[in-house]
Structure 1
Amino acid sequence: MTPTKPTALLDTAAAHATAAVPIARPDDTADMVLKAMQGKTFDCASVIAVCNADRLAGLVTVERLLAADPQTPVRRIMDAKPPKVSSGTDQEHAAWLAVQHGEPGLAVVDARGRFVGVIPPQQLLRVLLEEHDEDMARLGGYLRRSAMAREASEENVPARLWHRLPWLGIGLLGVLGSAGLLAASEARLSANLAVAFFLPGIVYLAAAVGNQTQTLVIRGLSVGVGIRRVAGREALTGLLVGALLAVAMYGVVAVGWRDLTLATAVGLAVVAASTVATLVAMALPWLLQRAGKDPAFGSGPVATIIQDLMSISIYLGTVTLLLS
């Protein structure tokens, strides 16, 4: 039988698969397979592909083959449900699948289920090391290769300023916006100074909740976890965290200041600001990634100022609505 030739697809399972492996039929005996392997050279001989015509029936390791009775049919000692991937499967997913199943090799099949080849253990190890190097480079600065990470770490002062100042300039504009919001609410703040006491705390709590989400999202993106996989659970988490903080803040304000209306305003603002901060913290890294920008420089300053502006607006709006 002539196996299907693997298609050379960059960073996919097919790019690492080899058809130069021992191939047996389910009814072949262990002795027949071992004798057929003698005098031949294989790219990988640690695992034998068992095929019906051009279809993969299972895999058997050379260790099990050597330990079996010589007259035992291969179908009785093979793994009939081995881990296998399609030709276009991402190389990192393929490597981790093999590790999780404890196999020395991973079978690759095409879209029609025909046997393409086996990814040898040395290739699986190389893929894992490559992906580890890439992930570690991207975790710190979300950069695609270690060479880029080194370049960012070793760049000169003008380059560092060029990469950072534009984002901080956006933050400066946000600060001016915050000052404008507070100036517009000067009368309300002057009429009830207690309202101003809780503004820094609400801004801080929302930013802290957002920072936790942002860290989780960037780490996830750096190892291939898409935003869709975390968005729902993280949004619900932000809402619940905000609700718990709101209950605590309500109790403190109600007891300490004996103002139930102000306590309600503070509690509602905390819930809303924490939820919005969570959504902003998820959206910004994803948008910057889609735009080809580095979230290590952009997410922090931009997310912080958006979260602060939203927190101030939410709190002042809630206070105006309830205390007017």
Structure 2
Amino acid sequence: MPDDLQDRLGPDLKSFESIQASRAFHKESAGEIMQRRHVALAPDRTAAEAVAALQRASDMIGSVDTVFVIDADNRPIGAFKPRALLLVPPDTPLSKIMSREFPVVSSATDQEEAALATAGTEFKSLPVVDNDGRLVGQITTKMLARVVAEEAAEDMLKLGGVNEDARPTDSVPKIVRNRLPWLLAGLVGATIAAIIIGSFEEELEKAAILAAFIPVVMSMAGNAGLQASVVSVQALAMGSNWPGDRLIYRFGRELLGALVNGAIAGSILASLILAGSLIFDVEDPVRLALATSMSLLTVTTIAAIVGSFVPLGLSRLGIDPAAATGVFITTSNDVVGVLVYFLMASTFYF
């Protein structure tokens, strides 16, 4: 909600105090999306006292997913799920129930990082602390799910070369402003690819049929690169960073997968060319089949490797991989695909 509208409507809003408090934090931070209402108890309180506290808080908070345990300075030292209270005697202290392994985020933490913090843990509600480590609120399960959905939608738009703020109701000037820069970046790559094609004009004059397979090679390169990059961006969004030997293992797996896919696609194309030569007049179909199949094998492999590791490299440079990957993959695959195709044609066809 715009700040001026909040100021006008604020006094009439039931949650005005929460809105005012959230405005003190950075946009899309844990502090902005957190809920200040939560259940926090001392470690010496008993299970029976915890049940009573949950009953008192139920009207104010609603369903409680996680109960936090705090020390004398209001710093979280443990957490447990309410169902744990049903499995112990009423006089059991919370220090015996709580788990000391639980995620905690600062109010300044980006909301996407906060959502990732709960991955692999039993706790889905996330405690938020201030600069001194004191508990100031929680991010609920519902809010975390909303953040994940919003971030996924943003990444999808970025991969498509569209600004993350784009909406179906955008005006014409905003559509142009959001989309034209990415289109122009793609135009640069397409222009370079056209220049490469032009440099092989003599080869095209000798065998015009080569031009018929340029779209096939470029399309395969684009699809292979896009598939690999989407998987990488998704994995990075889920918190994977492939350190050390895991990176080497992934490289080997992607390389092998790309080689297999490229070999299968190349074999199918070669078979189609040979079969077509029985019907149509094709000059030296065996050499043409070899050139095109080797092109597909090579460009599919290169595109898959580039698509897999460009997002990782961008991420480590501090660049949003979803924002830059789409146009980078498309442009590089166009250029590399055309260049590889004509090099293979020069080697195997002429």
**In 2: Cα distance, 1:302 partner to 1:282 partner:** 15
**In 2: Cα distance, 1:291 partner to 1:63 partner:** 40
Determine which of 35, 41, 44 is the counterpart of 1:23. 41
Q: Kindly indicate whether the alpha-carbon contact (under 8 Å) linking 2:129 and 2:135 is maintained by their aligned counterparts in 1.
A: yes
Q: How does 1:134-283 map to 2 (within 5 A)?
A: 134-140=151-157, 141=160, 143=162, 145=164, 148-150=165-167, 153-156=170-173, 159=176, 162-163=180-181, 164=183, 167-168=186-187, 170-181=189-200, 183-185=201-203, 190=206, 197=209, 200-201=212-213, 204-214=216-226, 216-218=228-230, 221=233, 224=237, 232=251, 233-249=253-269, 264-279=290-305, 281=307
Report the CA distance between 1:271 and its aligned residue: 1.9
Tell me the residue number matched to 1:305: 334
Q: Kindly indicate whether the alpha-carbon contact (under 8 Å) linking 1:19 and 1:116 is maintained by their aligned counterparts in 2.
A: no
Determine which of 69, 84, 92 is the counterpart of 2:103. 84
Tell me the residue number matched to 2:348: 319
**In 2: Cα distance, 1:23 partner to 1:179 partner:** 74
Q: Kindly indicate whether the alpha-carbon contact (under 8 Å) linking 2:116 and 2:239 is maintained by their aligned counterparts in 1.
A: no
Unaligned runs of 5+ in 2: 1-23, 279-283
Q: Kindly indicate whether the alpha-carbon contact (under 8 Å) linking 1:203 and 1:308 is maintained by their aligned counterparts in 2.
A: no
Structure 2 length as normaliser, TM-score?
0.59
Q: How does 1:42-191 map to 2 (within 5 A)?
A: 46=64, 47-51=66-70, 58-62=78-82, 64-65=84-85, 69-76=89-96, 78-80=97-99, 83-87=102-106, 90-95=110-115, 98=118, 101=121, 103=123, 105-107=125-127, 116=135, 119-121=138-140, 124-140=141-157, 141=160, 143=162, 145=164, 148-150=165-167, 153-156=170-173, 159=176, 162-163=180-181, 164=183, 167-168=186-187, 170-181=189-200, 183-185=201-203, 190=206
Q: Deviations over 1:240-283 (max 9, x none)?
A: 31123334455666786897666554443332222233355567
Report the CA distance between 1:185 and its aligned residue: 2.3
AA aligned to 1:95 is A
Structure 1 residues 298 and 153: alpha-carbon distance in aligned structure 2, compared to 1, 3 A threshold: farther
Structure 1 residues 42 and 238: alpha-carbon distance in aligned structure 2, compared to 1, 3 A threshold: same
AA aligned to 1:132 is A
Structure 1 length as normaliser, TM-score?
0.63
Q: Deviations over 1:21-72 (max 9, x none)?
A: 42221x5322344567898999969343235667755323445447854323
Specify the SS of the correspondent of 1:50: strand
**In 2: Cα distance, 1:153 partner to 1:275 partner:** 39
Structure 1 residues 143 and 228: alpha-carbon distance in aligned structure 2, compared to 1, 3 A threshold: farther
Structure 1 residues 73 and 228: alpha-carbon distance in aligned structure 2, compared to 1, 3 A threshold: closer
Q: What number of residue pairs does the alignment pair up?
A: 300
**In 2: Cα distance, 1:175 partner to 1:38 partner:** 71
Specify the SS of the correspondent of 1:149: coil
**In 2: Cα distance, 1:155 partner to 1:81 partner:** 54
AA aligned to 1:125 is K
Q: Kindly indicate whether the alpha-carbon contact (under 8 Å) linking 2:225 and 2:307 is maintained by their aligned counterparts in 1.
A: yes
Q: Kindly indicate whether the alpha-carbon contact (under 8 Å) linking 1:24 and 1:48 is maintained by their aligned counterparts in 2.
A: no
Unaligned runs of 5+ in 1: 1-6
Specify the SS of the correspondent of 1:150: coil
Report the CA distance between 1:306 and its aligned residue: 1.0
Report the CA distance between 1:85 and its aligned residue: 3.3
AA aligned to 1:214 is L
AA aligned to 2:266 is A
